[in-house]
Amino acid sequence: MTMKKRVPFVTFRTRVRDETVDGPNPYRWENKTTEDYFGGRRTILFSLPGAFTPTCSTYQLPDFDKLYEEFEKHGIESVYCLSVNDAFVMNAWGKASGLKKVKLIPDGSGEFTRKMGMLVAKDNLGFGLRSWRYAAVINDCLIEQWFVEEGLSDNCETDPYGASSPQNILKTLKSLETESAPDQSERLTAL
């Protein structure tokens, strides 16, 4: 049996609304750890090159949000979108996208992405270091399923998108359940 890989332990610096904070911008810093997001539940993480970028904003993020209830039917309790962007950018993106279900994780320093082996240079686009596109089903901090786009490389001229799409992950979850479900005809014979 292969050992499941554990997601790296890091602390994320988030900004949360707090009405007790005076002034026109009532937000405060809140540290969240890997354990806070991924501990004790089955989740999906998808990670992408940047907030507000076209494929991420037009397809990947809204499609995960729309398909959230479908994922719930397959035992997923939270869906997280991570990007190597700071908390201010991620909050602004969440607000602009009108997100209902997907939660955003700011990995501004790229520490989580680097420890996942997914940090790539995107200097060809003036982006600096960013996340390669990938997604994972994570159960209590252990990676159950892994979906990485092909061609992981620095300064990649293309932006492959398919493996880490919500449609592909849903299809995979469904087919895994079909494989592991007891064959009804065998069951009836055994009775």
Give Cα separations from 12 to 83, 107, 175 (angstroms): 11, 6, 34
43 near ligand BEZ (CB under 6 A): no
| Residue range at the interface with ligand BEZ (CB under 6 A); choices 54-62, 69-77, 135-143, 180-188 | 54-62
Nearest to 123 by CA among 49, 12, 51: 49
Report the catalytic residues.
56
Q: CB of residue 187 vs ligand BEZ: minimum separation in angstroms? A: 46
Q: CB of residue 106 vs ligand BEZ: minimum separation in angstroms? A: 17
Q: CB of residue 59 vs ligand BEZ: minimum separation in angstroms? A: 8
**Nearest-angstrom CA–CA distance, 66 and 99:** 9
Nearest to 71 by CA among 159, 150, 169, 149: 169
110 near ligand BEZ (CB under 6 A): no
| Residue range at the interface with ligand BEZ (CB under 6 A); choices 34-42, 45-53, 81-89, 96-104 | 45-53
56 near ligand BEZ (CB under 6 A): yes
Q: CB of residue 13 vs ligand BEZ: minimum separation in angstroms? A: 23
126 near ligand BEZ (CB under 6 A): no
53 near ligand BEZ (CB under 6 A): yes
125 near ligand BEZ (CB under 6 A): yes
Backbone angles phi, psi at 40, to 5 degrees: 70, 15
Instruction: Let me know: does 84 contact 110? Beta carbons within 8 Å.
Output: yes
- Name the DSSP class of 51: T
111 near ligand BEZ (CB under 6 A): no
54 near ligand BEZ (CB under 6 A): yes
- Name the DSSP class of 6: B
Q: Look at the block and give the residue holding tokens 């090159």.
A: 49
Name which of residues 62 to 101 contact ligand BEZ (CB under 6 A).
none
Instruction: Let me know: does 133 contact 161? Beta carbons within 8 Å.
Output: yes
Task: Decide the pairing of beta strands 119-121 and 78-83.
Answer: unpaired
50 near ligand BEZ (CB under 6 A): yes
Q: Which SS3 state, helix, strand or coil, does residue 146 take?
A: strand
By CB under 6 A, name the one of 101, 159, 163, 176 that touches ligand BEZ.
159
